[in-house]
Structure 1
Amino acid sequence: MKTTSIKSTSMPFTHATRAALGGNDPVSPPQGYWRFAWRHQQGANSVLFEQRAVVVNLGLFGALLVASVIYLSLGSVKVAPTTVLKALVGNADMMATFVVQELRLPRLAAACFTGAAFALAGILMQTLARNRLATPGIIGIDNGATAFAVASIVGIGVSIAPPAMALAGATTAAVLTFGLAAGSGTQGYRFIVAGIGVGAVFGAVTQLLLARVAIDTANAAYPWTVGSLNARPSGALQLLMLGLALGLTTALALARSLTLLRFKDATASGLGVNVKRRRLEVLLLSVALTGLAVAVVGPVGMVGLIGPEIARSLSSSRGVPLLAATLAGALVMVLADLAGRTLLTPIEIPVGIVTAVVGGPWLLWILMRPQRSYT
C-alpha cells in the first residue's frame, strides 16, 4: 500500500493534481494497483493498494475463517457448523455452547496467535538474513526460549514465570548466535551454522533438566519440549495477543525498509535506510515474537518456515508479504492442531510433531532446489 498527499497550497495545479482533486483527467494507477483518492481542506490524498496482495490476504483470511469453523466443529463431541455459529453468539444449547466457547475457542485463539507470531517472526528473520532458512527455530531462538521456560517449570531456584523466562531465553540465544557468527553478521551460512549449534546446545540443556527431576515434574514440562496447545500458562495468551498486535503494527510500519533490506547494504543505505538501526529493530521484534509464542505453545519452529513460504508463493515479489505470512502461519497452526486432535482420536498428537512431519520434507525441498537470489 502506498499513500501520496497533494496540497493545493504548495504544488502547481498540474494534470496530476487536477486528477487527484477530482478533475476530468484521471490519473491511471501503476499496473497491478488500485488507486483510491479523496479530498480534504488541505488538498487531497490517494492510496495505492496492490491488487494481488489484497486478493491473497482476503483469500488467506477466508481460508482461516473456514478452518476455524471446522476446528470448532470437530472433536470427540461433534458440533454442526451452523450450531457452531449459533454457539459463538450464545444461541445454541448449553452443551454446544460450553464445548465451543469454553473448550475449543480458547485453544483456537492460541493456535491462531501463536502461528501468526511464529510466521511473522520467521519472515522478519529471513528478510534480515536474506536467507529462507534463517527462521527463529532453525537458528536456535526457539530452543533457547524453551530451555529457559522449562527451567522455570522444573524448579531450579528460579521463580520467574515461563513467559518472562522464554523471552530471556530467546534473547540469550540470539545474542550467542550473533556473537558466534562474528564478522559475518546475519548473512551467509556461518550465521545459520552458528544458530544450529546454539540450538543444539540449548536442546541438550533442556533434556538435561528433564533428566534430573522427578517423572511427574518432567511430564509437566514435556509439552514445552515438543510444542503443544494442550497446556497453556494463564496470562501468556493475553500477553501474546498484545505483543502480536504491537509487533504486526511495527512490522507494517517498517515494510518499506524491509523491502530495501533484501538488497545489498550499500543499495539500502543509498535509498535512505539506516541499515544498522533497522537490523537491530527487526531482530528485537523477531526475538520478542518468538519468545511470546514459545511461552504459550513451546517450540513449533517449522511454522516460521512454512508460513512465509506459502505467503511468498502466493504474493508478488514487489515487497515482503508480512500480512500474508502472518495469516498463513495462523492457518498452518490451526490445521496442524486440528489434525493432531482428530487423526488418532482419542490419542492427541502435539502440534509441534505434526508441523515437524510436514515441515521436514518442506525443508528438504528448499535445500534441494537450485540456489537462487533471495530477492
Structure 2
Amino acid sequence: MTALPSSRVAQLQDLTAPLARVFREEAQAADRQETLSVRGVQALRDSGYAALTVPASLGGLGATLHEFALAQEDLGRADASLALVAAMNAHLLGSAGEAGTWPPEVYARVARASVTRGALSNSLASEPDLGSPSRGGLPRTTARRVPGGWVLNGLKTWSTGSRALDFMVVTADAGGEVWRFVVEAGSLGVEVRDTWRDALTLRGSGSHDVAFRDVFVPDDLSVPPTRPGADMQACSSAWFWTAVAATYLGVGQAALDAFAGYAHARVPTALGAPISTLPKVQQAAGQMALDLLAARAALHAAALAWSERGPHADLLPQLAGAKLLCTNAAVSVTDLALRAAGGASLTADLPLERLFRDARAGITHPPADDQTLTLLGQQALHPA
C-alpha cells in the first residue's frame, strides 16, 4: 500500500484542524440546546471543506476515498453532529463525481457552488414508511412530469443538517423508477419540520423531517436513473460507508482522548497519584486503543485499496466490514470509557456521556451489521 505524500497529509490537516477546533467548541452547547450550531455551519462553509471531494477539474481538492477518511475522522473526533453535516456533502459529491452518474451540467452546478461559496448538500432518501432505502423499495415521495420539469410531493426523515442545506437531493418515485431531484433551499413548497427533538443521539445535527408540497424542479436539476456497471453502482455505497466509518471512528477516539485527560487529572486522596498509574485504568485504556487500532487499520486498508484500484464492487465487503468495525468500536470504547471513569462520566463536566450517546447512532446507518456479515460471508464462501 502506498502512503500519502507528507505534503498532502499536511494540506488535509491544515484544512481540518481549525474547523475541528470550532466544532469542538460548539459541541456541548449544541447538544444541550438540541440545535445545529450556526457558528459551526458557517465555519464549515468558510473552511473550504465543502470542496474536499470535488474533482480538481471543477476547482475542488479532488480528495480520494482514503484522503476523505483521514479528514473525516478529524472532524468526527471534534463533534459527530457537525461532522456528519460535512460528511453528507462530501460523500455525495465524491461518489457522484467518481461514478459520473449525474448529468454533467447538474453535477457541475452543485459542485461549483460548494467550491465558490461553501454550499452544502445532502441526499434525502429515508421516509417514515420506507425506512432505510438500503433495504430496497420505492419511495412514497412522488415526482410528476409537468411542462419544463417535475412536481414533487412527499416527506423525508432524518435529513441531517436540514436547515443548513443549499441543495437537497431528493429521491422520488417517477412512474415506477427512482429518480433524484436537486431541490434548491428556499424553493416554494419546501418545509423543514422541527421534529428532531429529545433524540438519544446527535442532538446537534438538525436531522429534522422535510416535507415537499407541489415543489417544482426544472428539468436541468433532475437526475434520471442510470444503469452503469456494478463498479460504478458501488461508488455511492463506498463513499457513504466510509463517511460513516470515519466519523464514528473519530467519536471513539474522542472518548479515549477525554478518558486519558481525566485519568491524568484525577488524583484521589487515598491514592495520592493520578489514576492513570493504576494497572486497571491502563488496561482499560489499552483495550480502547486496541479496538480503535483494529478498526482504523481496516478502514485505511479498504479505503486505500479503493483509491489505488479505482471503483471495484469486490471491495464493498471490505468497506462494509470497516464500517462495522469502526461503528462498533465507537460503541465499545465509549462504553468502556464511561465505566472506567466512574460517576464523573455521567455529568456534563466530561464529554463522555455525549460521546456515549452519539456513538449509538453509528450502528443505525447502513449497512446494518447483518447485511455486512452476509456480504463478507458470501465473499468468503465464494471467492473470486
TM-score, normalisation: structure 2? 0.26
Structure (1/2) with the larger helix percentage: 1
Structure (1/2) with the larger strand percentage: 2
Greater RCO (Cα-Cα under 8 Å, separation 6 or more): 1
TM-score, normalisation: structure 1? 0.27
